Structures are given as structure tokens and as C-alpha cells.
């Protein structure tokens, strides 16, 4: 019940395209859903986060869509750029409790 | 303003040895958490400390221990190292009740 399932495992997108990564969770008590971006050899960097009382949040080219009834949330990267090539992790937590991470999606954006 | 700093950045140890990893949180942050990230996987929660008290522990053996100091920095200790302990160890800090967790660049531990 503590798992967060993430798909796809890898994603190849052309420059200017839309990258979409999906996550599903089981524990309905989760109340905080962040997305992290990680480059090789670096720690995860917080990209954007959402709470379950909001269905969508947008920050620049990054948008989180949240479907509480389906227990799913997704990250959309608009106008994807080669610099966006990284591994993306979704996560879920109970307030300041531990973060439960998905398995990651390796995104490659080709020019 | 400095982010989360971890030391050392890389470490090679032999099976059976002991290791200590260090973390300094962002100034003003009182909560520190430790995560283990095995290659190709998401980070797994090990410990959380807030105001020098342990607030959570993940599913890791007793060989793993941690503490938080009065200045809110933290140490993660691992005894009797196994090959399977080879991973990137990440430290994250939070500003008290805030849920935003900021990660350091990690310590890459290799056990041979």
C-alpha cells in the first residue's frame, strides 16, 4: 500500500515535443506529491509538487495533472529541450513523513 | 545561500568495514532525512531526524544508524559493510513543518 508505480521506464522525445510521465499510488492518505529531476552523479532536484485538493499545477513548461479518484498523477513537460534529458522521479508522502519514490523514468530529448 | 552539503562525495570501502557519512542541512532547516539510492532505482528512505530526535526509520537492518547534532548536521553510520550497501547515499533537509525536501548531491559508496 506504500508503493508508487511509475511509467514508462524510459522515454524518447524529439525537441519541442511533449514528454508525459505517469504515476499511480495506493495509499489514499498521501497528501503531497512532488516530482524530482536527477542528472547523472547528482542528487534529485525538486521540480514541482502538488496537493490532492488541486487537479492541476503549472510552473513554466512543467505541469502536474492530478486525478484523486483514479489515484494517479502525471508530469507533462511542454516544448521538451535536450537539457531536459535526465531521470525523473515521482514521489508521495504524508506531510513531513518519508518520501516514497517511484522507480524513475529516463527521458532523452533529441534535437 | 548554500544548499545541502554532503561529505565525502566518493568513498571506497572493503566488506566488513565501517563507514560514516556526513550531511549539513540548508541553514535554518531542522529536519534531515537519509535515503539510499541503488543504481537504476528510486531513493529508499532510511532515517528522518527532526530537532535531534529520530522521527522515522525505514526498512533497513540495525547495521544502519544515524544521529543529528545540536547544529542540525547529521551523520549516517553503516557497520559491517556488505557488497549490497554499494549505493548513492542522499541527505535531504526540510524547514521544519514544510514538506519541501531538498537533496544534497550524495555520497557514492562502493563496497569491494
> Do the Cβ atoms of A101 and B44 come within 8 Å?
yes
| pLDDT at position A94 | 82
Chain B residues with beta carbon closer than 8 angstroms to that of A104: 40-42
> Do the Cβ atoms of B31 and A49 come within 8 Å?
no
pLDDT category of residue B2 using cuts at 50, 70 and 90? confident
Mapped onto helix, strand or coil, the DSSP state of residue B78 is strand
| pLDDT at position B97 | 66
What's the sign of the alpha-carbon dihedral B41, A105, A38, B71? Answer: negative
Q: Is B48 on the interface with A (CB under 8 A)?
A: yes
Of A1 and B7, more confident? B7
| pLDDT at position B98 | 66
| pLDDT at position B71 | 94
| pLDDT at position B95 | 86
pLDDT category of residue B1 using cuts at 50, 70 and 90? low
Phi, psi dihedrals of residue B51, rounded to the nearest 5°: 50, 45
- Rounded distance between C-alpha atoms, residue B34 and residue B47, angstroms: 5
Q: Which residue has the cell 535515503?
A: B35
Which regions of chain A are under pLDDT 70? Answer: 1, 96
User: In sequence order, what E strands does A8-101 have?
Assistant: 10-14, 19-25, 33-38, 45-50, 56-59, 62-67, 72-77, 86-93, 99-101
Amino acid at each position: 500500500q506504500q508503493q508508487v508505480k511509475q511509467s514508462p521506464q524510459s522515454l524518447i522525445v524529439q525537441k519541442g515535443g511533449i514528454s508525459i510521465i505517469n504515476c499511480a499510488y495506493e495509499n489514499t492518505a498521501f497528501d503531497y506529491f512532488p516530482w524530482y529531476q536527477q542528472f547523472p552523479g547528482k542528487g534529485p532536484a525538486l521540480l514541482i509538487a502538488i496537493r490532492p485538493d488541486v487537479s492541476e499545477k503549472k510552473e513554466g513548461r512543467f505541469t502536474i495533472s492530478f486525478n484523486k479518484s483514479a489515484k494517479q498523477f502525471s508530469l507533462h513537460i511542454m516544448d521538451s529541450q535536450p537539457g531536459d534529458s535526465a531521470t525523473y522521479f515521482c514521489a508521495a508522502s504524508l506531510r513531513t513523513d518519508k518520501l516514497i519514490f517511484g522507480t524513475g523514468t529516463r527521458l532523452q530529448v533529441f534535437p | 545561500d548554500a544548499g545541502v552539503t554532503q561529505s565525502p562525495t566518493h568513498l571506497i570501502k572493503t566488506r566488513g568495514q565501517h563507514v560514516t557519512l556526513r550531511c549539513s542541512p540548508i541553514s535554518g532547516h531542522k529536519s534531515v532525512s537519509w535515503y539510499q539510492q541503488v543504481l537504476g532505482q528510486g531513493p529508499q528512505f532510511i532515517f528522518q531526524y527532526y530537532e535531534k530526535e529520530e522521527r522515522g526509520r525505514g526498512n533497513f537492518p540495525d547495521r544502519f544508524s544515524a544521529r543529528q547534532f545540536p547544529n542540525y548536521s547529521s551523520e549516517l553510520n553503516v557497520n559491517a559493510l556488505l557488497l549490497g550497501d554499494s549505493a548513492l547515499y542522499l541527505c535531504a533537509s526540510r524547514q521544519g513543518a514544510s514538506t519541501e525536501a531538498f537533496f544534497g548531491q550524495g555520497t557514492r559508496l562502493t563496497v569491494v
